[in-house]
Amino acid sequence: MDVNLNFKSAAEAKKFSDTLKWPELKSAWILLGILAVVFILGFIFLPALVAFIEGGLLMVTGGISFALIYRAAKSERAGRLEKSELANILLGLDDALVVYDHDFNILFFNPAAENLFKTKSEDIVGQKFQPQDVGNESKKLLAQVIFSSLAPTVISRSRVGEYPQIVDISFTDPELELRVSTIPVRGELNELLGFMKIIRDRTREISLIKSKGEFLTVASHQLRTPVTDINWALQSLASDESLNENAKTIVETALTAGRNLFQVVEDLLDVAKIEEGHFGYKFEQVDIVQFINEVLGTVMPMSERAGIKIYFEKPKNDLPQPFIDRTKLSRALDNLIENSVRYNTENGEVIVRVEKVSDGPFLEISVKDTGIGIAPADIDNLFKKFYRASNAVKTQTEGTGLGLYIVKNIVQAHGGKIWVDSEPGRGSVFHFTIATDINSVPQHEMALEE
Ligand code: ADP
């Protein structure tokens, strides 16, 4: 204990003596020296009382001045320390960091950026970048990162005008996957000084996702043919009149399981294609009301069998014509409507609506049901792969839990988003948007991580 105390006071004494040696305090020492000289002269030449008052005033002035200079020195030192810590963090960052002013003159280039762009900081800092630099082999990659619209494949991950702006950029030769976050750098008066780009190299991560996807694709393809054959054989067996009741029930059960298995294989194949970025979208402009009518036509027989009524509330005014992939979007809408029928209650209803979004170039389509609803804890997980809520598993034993994951990805590929409003026992409303402006539709598919 004693030792500690001694150590503590010795350390404090050292700290105190170091503080007295700060170069920032030099002006304070000079001032104190001058005050001391004035004080001594006062004592020699002035009457005792005046000298005494003068001495007091000089002490107060000296004390206040010293305290003010010490405070300023301390905050300057803290600022310097903060700056050097920040510089060390930026230099040690795993992600590449490039800072440039509003004229695209490079101001900062960290070692990770040197590695990624294969250029030394001293060769690049101070250089001005222009879109034409995309034609210059040594500047091409950085120019495509700075002017990302010039990169071969770009997918925006953030809304227009929202910061950080996040884009995923892919290059094929050589293979490179970058996630670029752009943040504006502002001065004290909030004036724009330039931009900071943080660039994460995701090439390895994406290649792992792709190889996982390739495995899934091959495995699903291999399963598809035997499952189809088995289902075909079971179907022929089920229609055999000579089977007794017991055998018929067994065959029917096997056939249902076979169909479910076939759906799993199909869904897995789609998931693999989506995650590899090879689902293959072909966009065309359509009349959305006509399109929804067509989808409803395909699900009607299933809803009639289930005794669920479907209503389509058409908009009063004409709607803008969105750009969609007919096959993919009908798959998504079909899935939502089938769910609203499957997870409905007896004699339930489904209402499909379409309307224009008031604050953007989007249409909103919603599917409302009077079904079992969804618990708040399940809502966050519904769009994840294989997730099925416990109330749904009880009422509908069949299901892959892949449908909504596929739907979400299809909606996102149409520049939209999907969400659900629901309460257990009080029905659900699934909403999704699709872009009516082709510029809001991602131009290329990309491999994705969940
Ligand atoms: P599946 O229907 O094959 O289980 P989905 O991905 O389509 O897979 O749906 C995931 C889960 O979301 C369902 O298992 C169910 O729990 C819930 N769900 C989807 N649609 C509805 C709905 N209309 N009402 C209640 N729950 C729903």
- In our burial notation (b when 16+ CB lie closer than 10 A, e otherwise), range 50-72 reads ebeebbeebeeebeeebeebeee
**pLDDT for res 4:** 46
The confidence band for 424, taking pLDDT boundaries of 50, 70 and 90, is: very high
The atom of ligand 1 lying closest to the CA of 335 is: 7
Share of residues in the chain with pLDDT > 70 (%): 97
The confidence band for 304, taking pLDDT boundaries of 50, 70 and 90, is: very high
- List, chain by chain if needed, residues with CB within 6 Å of any ligand 1 atom: 335, 339-340, 343, 369, 371-372, 374, 382, 387-389, 392, 399-404, 428
Q: Which of 343, 380, 422 to mutate to test the pocket of ligand 1 (most atoms within 8 A of CB)?
A: 343
For ligand 1, the distance from its centroid to the CA atom of residue 339, given in whole angstroms, is: 6
d(CA 18, CA 83): 22
d(CA 351, CA 367): 6
116 in Cβ contact with 96 (< 8 Å):
yes
Least confident interval from 15-19, 40-44, 245-249, 380-384: 15-19
- pLDDT, tens only, 157-194: 887 778 889 999 988 878 899 999 999 999 888 888 99
Examine the pLDDT at 89 and tell me if it is beyond 90. no
Q: Tell me, yes or no, if the pTM score tops 0.85.
A: no
For ligand 1, the distance from its centroid to the CA atom of residue 412, given in whole angstroms, is: 19
**pLDDT for res 206:** 85
Share of residues in the chain with pLDDT > 90 (%): 54
Q: Which of 310, 339, 342 to mutate to test the pocket of ligand 1 (most atoms within 8 A of CB)?
A: 339
Q: Return the residue matching tokens 């509908």.
A: 396
Averaged pLDDT, 314-321: 91
The atom of ligand 1 lying closest to the CA of 383 is: 6
Number of residues that make up the chain: 450
For ligand 1, the distance from its centroid to the CA atom of residue 158, given in whole angstroms, is: 28
**pLDDT for res 6:** 53
For ligand 1, the distance from its centroid to the CA atom of residue 373, given in whole angstroms, is: 10
**pLDDT for res 210:** 79
Q: Which of 388, 402, 405 to mutate to test the pocket of ligand 1 (most atoms within 8 A of CB)?
A: 388
Query: Within 13 A of 434's CA, how many CA atoms are on the CB side?
Result: 30
- Kindly state the greatest CA–CA separation across the chain: 136
Q: Is the dihedral of CA 189, 199, 273, 445 positive or negative?
A: positive
- Share the mean pLDDT of the chain: 88
For ligand 1, the distance from its centroid to the CA atom of residue 340, given in whole angstroms, is: 8
**pLDDT for res 298:** 95
- pLDDT, tens only, 364-404: 999 999 999 999 999 999 999 999 999 999 888 788 899 99
HEC sequence for 92-116: HCCCEEEEEECCCEEEEECHHHHHH
For ligand 1, the distance from its centroid to the CA atom of residue 388, given in whole angstroms, is: 6
Examine the pLDDT at 52 and tell me if it is beyond 90. no
The confidence band for 449, taking pLDDT boundaries of 50, 70 and 90, is: low
For the CA atoms of 344, 347, 348, 351, the dihedral, rounded to the nearest 10 degrees, stands at: 130
Closest of 294, 405, 288, 310 to residue 357, by C-alpha: 288
For ligand 1, the distance from its centroid to the CA atom of residue 227, given in whole angstroms, is: 24
For ligand 1, the distance from its centroid to the CA atom of residue 87, given in whole angstroms, is: 50
**Nearest CA owner, ligand 1 atom 18:** 339
For ligand 1, the distance from its centroid to the CA atom of residue 393, given in whole angstroms, is: 9
The atom of ligand 1 lying closest to the CA of 404 is: 6
- pLDDT, tens only, 232-280: 999 999 888 898 999 999 999 999 889 889 988 999 999 988 988 889 9
The atom of ligand 1 lying closest to the CA of 373 is: 25
Averaged pLDDT, 30-43: 85
Residues 6 or more apart whose CB falls under 8 angstroms from that of 147 comprise: 129, 131, 134
